Amino acid sequence: MKNKSTLITAILIPLAVGSLSSLISRGGMEVYKTLEKPPLSPPDIVFPIVWTILYILMGISSYLIYTSDSRDKGAALRLYAVQLAMNFLWSIIFFSLMLFLPAFIWLAAMTAVIAAMIYRFYGINKAAAYLNIPYLLWCCFALYLNFGSYILNSK
C-alpha cells in the first residue's frame, strides 16, 4: 500500500504545481487569447489536456526514480524539482507578466534542464526517461509558440 500512496503522491505533485501556476496565470491567459498567435497554434482546449497527460507522466517517472535503488537518484530528483519549479514560473512570466522574450529564454533553459533530467533518469531507469520524451517534445513546440508570440505581438 505504501508504494501505491507514493505513486499517487508523485503524480499529484506535478498536477498541483501545474494547477497552481495555471490558477495564478488565469487572467493573463484570458488576455493571451486575444493576441495574434503563430501558425500551428493548437486550439485552447488542447493545452490543459496535454499538460495533464504530461504531468501524470512526469509523476510516474519521478516515482520510478524515487523508488529505485540507485545512489544517483538524489541528483536526478533535484533536476526534476528544478525543472518543475521552472515550469511553474514559466506560465507566470509568459501569461501573467506577458514578458514573451524573457519567457522564451526561460523556456529554453528549462528545456535544457529537462534534457539533462532525462539523461540522468536514463542512467537509473530507462522507462522513467522515456516517459519524459513527450514533455521534452512539447516544450520544444512551446519554444516555437513562445517565440512566435513574441515576434507577432512585439510593438
Band of residue 32 on the pLDDT scale cut at 50, 70, 90: confident
For residue 79, give the C-alpha cell.
533536476
pLDDT for position 29: 84
| 14: nearest Cα among 73, 72, 58, 53 | 58
Over residues 35-84, the pLDDT tens digits come to 999 999 999 999 999 999 999 999 999 999 999 999 999 999 999 999 99
Specify the 3-state DSSP secondary structure of 43.
coil
Is the domain 2-153 a CATH 3.30.2350.10 member?
no
For the chain, domain boundaries: 2-153
- Distance between CA 26 and CA 105 in Å, rounded? 22
Q: Is 98 left (phi over 0), alpha (psi -120 to 50) or beta?
A: left
Query: pTM for this one?
Result: 0.94
